[in-house]
Structure 1
Amino acid sequence: MSAEHPLIKSVGKPKVLIVGAGIAGLTLAILLEKAGVPYELFDRVTEIKPLGSALSLAANVIPLFKQIGIYDELISLGKTFHSIDQYNEDRKREYSMDFRAAANLGGFAPRIVSRSVFHNLLFRQVPSSKIFLGKQVLSIKQSLENGVQIQFSDKTIAEGDILVGADGAYSTVRQSLYESLKNEGQLPASDDGALPFSCICLVGQTKPMDPEMYPELTDPICHFKSVIGDNKPYSWGCMTAKGNIFCWSVIQYLDSESSKGHDSFQNSEWGPEAAIAMCQEVRDFPLPGGKNNDMTIGDLIDNTPLVTKVMLEEKVFDTWYSGRTVLIGDACHKVHPAGGAGAMNAIQDAVALANWISVLDSTEVNEMVDAFKEYKAERYPVIKAAFEHGRTLSTLAATDLKARIIRYLTKNMPTWLWNILVKRMLESRPQVSFLPLVEDKGTVPPIYQPSLQKTLAIRKAREAAEEEEPTTVKAL
């Protein structure tokens, strides 16, 4: 990391500065490492904590893990799940959403893995010499001619050619970029405003629990259970994960009045302080499970070392890049977690962006902007669809009349129609062009992936041009 202040123009492959070591930032770092692109990764935290609940990883991203060589370890860390089972407060199952066909349709069975375990797996793939923690961004300078420069709170400086904002919903990189664009009169009105939200979420993962008291923990198949409150604005659920742990969450649906009461709360990081009161409110909520089928959310809370409370923001920004700066993951789109696609979309963003960065062979800003334009063109329609899907599924777990109607339709949906929906969920299965491609074994063909096919064509054209170059005449 450079300690000098002047902006220095790079030559050759552009150097990438990634702000944010979450799933999006780590995935991009891993891919740039594989592609031989110089990069550095920064995060404001001083240590990595076991935050969050669990992630669903399916055929949309699993081929990528085969490409980068961590597939076997990923499989060992997760559990396959067959269905999402919906219960009422009497702990009686009302209906299930069956995902068993997904393994055949997409070529890989979907898996549930603890978020912290998955994050640790990614973190270990990045050389420690390229990750810098405790780096709070103070200011960002961008020059179309000379590069980008970040100043951190510890008075150090980082310099590079491309700046990637992977620093979450309250992205400092995005805020800096948008402030500059607004001052220039170039920020769309749609991007000039606070992040809207309609839910509060309490999440956690337990320490290892006694399988004699909770026999479902011994099942190699994940038990994915969800409960909708009776006449209360809450839904909650849990998943069994490897290591005899439960991953769980509670969602509170806000009305307009309570939303206003939370308008001043900006949650740029997950912390336990805000969670205590909500834990007391929800601890008696019933869950199906346990030896006597009398489990409650309180049983899980009492065995969870770190409970966190977050706002569930929902927004797809229109401005994803400008100049040498580009955004990925939650920094440019925040989708309701009911869709189960947050991590998947972050990973797929990294794939598309890495494909284009990998073929950049100069530090000219015009080439970068063209690459960023291609990246957004590929990902934006997918994200907009995921945004609507997440909203629909969040409605499924709500408590109003509209939600009841949607639940009725879901419960009585014909198998053939449900399978069509599952197919659509699995159509996007991107890979990177700079690693050997993984054979796709899904019965549903993957949709066209522009960044893969276009950068493969660029690589083939370059290889052909090199072969056609006349050999150097040896000096006599």
Structure 2
Amino acid sequence: MTTSIAQPSQTKQPQHVDPAKKRPKVLIAGGGLGGLSLGMLLQQTDIPYEIFERATEPKALGSAIALSAATDALFKQCNIYDEFVSLGKKTLSLQVIANEQRRVDYKMDFSAQQQVLGAIGHVIARPALHDLLFRQIPKNRMHMGKKILSTDDQGDNGITVTFSDGTTASGDILIGADGAYSAVRQNLFKRLKAHNKLPAADDVPLPYSTVCLVGQTRPLDPAVFPHLLQDDCQFINTLGENKPWAQGTVCWSIIRFVEESKTSTDDKNGHSIVDQEWGPEAAEAMCNEVRHFPVVSGNEVNPLTLGDLIDYTPKDLISKVKLEEIVFETWFGGRTVLMGDARPLNPAGGVGCQNAMHDAIILANWINALPSDPTSKDIENAFRSYQDERLPWIQTASNSTRFYRTMASGGIVAGLLRFCAKHMPAWAKRKMLVVLGGNRPQCSFLPLVEDKGSVPPAFQPSLLATKPKTPATSV
């Protein structure tokens, strides 16, 4: 995948501002893809918001993000679709390499998505997508270097967040978009547990069964990596014997599946401990383990290995992470609500970012529909509507990731699933597309985008319930 540096986007001003109407102030914890998507949407209306990010500066880490046609409406409604498309490549298929001899065993064809869903999915480098969304947020709304220590929900008097630098921020709503080890979630769960309101199923360390090494190379010479000349993204999975998957493009990743699910270690205050297993040395050690793994580049004269990609990648763009997965029963409490990776999904299905963006759309719809000077009860009712709308889709996504995780592992069951995928009839592939892309939500307070798919998008409760009413006219 190639990326380009685009010109700064023109930040839009709110479409409608009523000074007499006191809108709820939204505090967004986390400047990742989900938090930025929510901020981008709130920027289009008259809701005041602030984003607080723990990192002191944006970090260009991560590999590639796969987004289906289900996110097209978000980019189109925010007028950044053309730039988004220019930064990525369309995905027409997933190539599965069943052995280490670089032979394509089969392809999962997604070319029907244009007709069925009305659009084509794209793969984009995570740093490029983050930069695109980051540029939609005015500088005075974005606050870096803000590590959350505690939150204080004061009922109808609002909520206050205290940061490690001694500063505070107050508002009406707190959004936890701060990742798997969400400080917002930890504070919320601690408060609920103290009042015996936290379900036992949520009072557990985060489980994980996946370790991932990711990176993005510097621009490569197409003579060395001919697949870069293809118009569509060459999304390739290679399965090795007792070895991880490799996605051999400019954006690459190695995914190692842990044989038995583990849990993250927390300290006595409930905060994650970052130990030597996850530092820079650990990433370098894992790089050394997988250097000789073959990748498919289109270069048959001088076939490449993962070691070549590693050597082409700046060290500061390589990271090793553990990828947690759990669907919490608790999504909100009082004036606090969680979204995105604060409810982590296994990455095997490639739907984490897409679901975070869908969370942002639905949350923005329900928050925008709140009355003037909303009470705590009004806010909790909005959060409940958000959870009711999103939970079925999150459960579907969780089941999907488990399926892909199993298919990518070893054993008889995995082999059977790959055999079924290889020989899947056309009608089954179409049904799979509908399941994966049927949920195509839109923001209710922005002009709607025409959906050209032959299969209509799934029913969206917030679109019907929160779309501003058009005033009646008399003749």
Partner of 2:88: 78
Which letter does structure 2 place at the counterpart of 1:398?
S
Deviation at 1:290, TM superposition (A): 4.5
The 5-angstrom pairing of residues 392-471 of structure 1 reads 392-456=403-467, 459-460=468-469, 463=471
* Per-residue CA distance 1:264-288 (angstroms, 9 max, x = gap): 7856998644311111001111112
Q: Are the structure 2 counterparts of residues 181 and 35 from structure 1 closer, same or farther at C-alpha, using a change threshold of 3 Å?
A: same
Q: Are the structure 2 counterparts of residues 22 and 209 from structure 1 closer, same or farther at C-alpha, using a change threshold of 3 Å?
A: same
> 1: distance between equivalents of 2:324 and 2:431?
29
> 2: distance between equivalents of 1:197 and 1:301?
25
Deviation at 1:168, TM superposition (A): 0.4
Which letter does structure 2 place at the counterpart of 1:54?
A
Q: Are the structure 2 counterparts of residues 419 and 398 from structure 1 closer, same or farther at C-alpha, using a change threshold of 3 Å?
A: same
Alpha-carbon contact 2:73-2:442 (below 8 Å) kept: yes
Q: Alignment partner for residue 171 of structure 1, among 166, 175, 182?
A: 182
Which moved further from structure 2: 361-370 or 271-280? 271-280
The 5-angstrom pairing of residues 261-276 of structure 1 reads 266=273, 272-276=280-284
Partner of 2:252: 248
Deviation at 1:90, TM superposition (A): 0.9
Which letter does structure 1 place at the counterpart of 2:31?
A
Deviation at 1:173, TM superposition (A): 0.2
Alpha-carbon contact 2:205-2:265 (below 8 Å) kept: no
Alpha-carbon contact 1:229-1:399 (below 8 Å) kept: no
Q: Alignment partner for residue 71 of structure 2, among 44, 58, 61?
A: 61
Hey, which bits of structure 1, 4+ residues long, moved more than 4 A?
Answer: 262-271
Partner of 2:239: 228
Aligned length: 444
TM-score, structure 1 as length reference: 0.90
Partner of 2:6: none
Which moved further from structure 2: 74-83 or 113-122? 74-83
Partner of 2:9: none
Q: Alignment partner for residue 100 of structure 1, among 93, 111, 135?
A: 111
Q: Alignment partner for residue 288 of structure 1, among 292, 296, 301?
A: 296
> 2: distance between equivalents of 1:315 and 1:346?
14
Deviation at 1:103, TM superposition (A): 1.4
> 1: distance between equivalents of 2:386 and 2:129?
25
> 2: distance between equivalents of 1:199 and 1:436?
40
* Per-residue CA distance 1:170-214 (angstroms, 9 max, x = gap): 000000000010011100001000111111111111111111111
Q: Alignment partner for residue 36 of structure 1, among 41, 46, 51?
A: 46
Q: Does 1:134 align with 2:145?
A: yes
* Per-residue CA distance 1:328-354 (angstroms, 9 max, x = gap): 0011x2111111111100000000000
Which moved further from structure 2: 217-226 or 126-135? 217-226
Q: Does 1:386 align with 2:386?
A: no
Alpha-carbon contact 2:210-2:346 (below 8 Å) kept: no
Which letter does structure 2 place at the counterpart of 1:298?
G
Q: Does 1:19 align with 2:19?
A: no
* Per-residue CA distance 1:77-129 (angstroms, 9 max, x = gap): 11112111011211111111000011111111111110010000000000000
Which letter does structure 1 place at the counterpart of 2:287?
C
> 2: distance between equivalents of 1:139 and 1:270?
25
* Overall identity of the aligned pairs, in %: 47
> 1: distance between equivalents of 2:94 and 2:58?
30
> 2: distance between equivalents of 1:134 and 1:397?
38
> 1: distance between equivalents of 2:374 and 2:159?
11
What is the DSSP-based 3-state SS (H/G/I as helix, E as strand, rest coil) of the residue aligned with 1:236? Answer: strand
Alpha-carbon contact 1:105-1:426 (below 8 Å) kept: no
> 1: distance between equivalents of 2:419 and 2:265?
33
> 1: distance between equivalents of 2:274 and 2:298?
34
Which letter does structure 2 place at the counterpart of 1:460?
K
> 1: distance between equivalents of 2:288 and 2:259?
21
Superposed CA RMSD in Å reads: 2.0
Structure 1: which 5+ residue stretches go unaligned? 1-9, 240-245, 469-476
* Per-residue CA distance 1:282-327 (angstroms, 9 max, x = gap): 1111112252261111111111121111112110111000100001
Which letter does structure 2 place at the counterpart of 1:151?
T
Q: Does 1:122 align with 2:133?
A: yes
Q: Does 1:312 align with 2:323?
A: yes
Deviation at 1:363, TM superposition (A): 2.8
Q: Are the structure 2 counterparts of residues 58 and 166 from structure 1 closer, same or farther at C-alpha, using a change threshold of 3 Å?
A: same
Alpha-carbon contact 2:210-2:323 (below 8 Å) kept: yes
Partner of 1:328: 339
Deviation at 1:426, TM superposition (A): 1.2
Q: Are the structure 2 counterparts of residues 353 and 219 from structure 1 closer, same or farther at C-alpha, using a change threshold of 3 Å?
A: same
Partner of 2:102: 91
Which moved further from structure 2: 271-280 or 210-219? 271-280
